[in-house]
């Protein structure tokens, strides 16, 4: 019989789930096969480790807290993925706004609006004395 079949029986032997006939056959094989013997010792060591390990019950609401941490981590990963894109976009928008502000200030600096001069306020070379009254009369109609 090949070692492949006996390696399957080794696991059943360690777990005490093997029949008497198969157990005797396995023990005979172990006497002549050092590889399967090493495998048996390895499986016994693993079983001992798990038996010595304390069985500990999870704390109350463990699953709920775990799921919340997973959701938070997903949000964090999503933010980390898109944050560089947002930073670049904000940077581009700020540069664009600065360029517009600079252009508007450039126009004001080099192309100033003409200032009113006193000659614009003169009618027939004299200053209108009742300028406010005239404007109100034009706006509300002639009350005279």
Give the domain ranges of the chain: 3-52
The answer on pLDDT for 113 being more than 60 is no
As given in the structure block, the two tokens for residue 56 are 């500990």
The answer on pLDDT for 131 being more than 60 is yes
Q: pTM surpassing 0.75?
A: no
Token look-up 């976009």 returns 89
Q: How far apart are CA 7 and CA 25, in angstroms?
A: 12
Q: What is the DSSP letter of 125?
A: T
Confidence (pLDDT) at 46 = 87
User: For the chain, how far is it from start to end, CA to CA, in angstroms?
Assistant: 130
Enumerate the β-bridge partners of residue 126: 123
The answer on pLDDT for 133 being more than 80 is no
When pLDDT is cut at 50, 70 and 90, the band that residue 119 belongs to is: low
């Amino acid at each position: 019989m090949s070692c492949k079949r006996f390696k399957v029986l080794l696991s059943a032997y360690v777990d005490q789930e093997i029949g008497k006939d198969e157990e005797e056959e396995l023990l005979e094989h172990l006497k002549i096969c050092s590889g399967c013997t090493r495998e048996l010792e390895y499986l016994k060591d693993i079983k001992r480790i798990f038996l010595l390990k304390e069985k500990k019950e999870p704390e109350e609401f463990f699953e709920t807290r775990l799921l919340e941490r997973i959701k938070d981590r997903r949000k964090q990963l999503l933010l980390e993925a898109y944050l560089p894109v947002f930073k670049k976009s904000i940077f581009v928008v700020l540069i664009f706004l600065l360029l517009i502000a600079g252009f508007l200030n450039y126009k004001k600096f080099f192309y100033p609006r003409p200032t009113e001069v006193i000659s614009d306020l003169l009618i027939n070379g004299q200053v209108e004395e009742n300028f406010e009254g005239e404007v109100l009369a034009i706006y509300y109609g002639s009350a005279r």
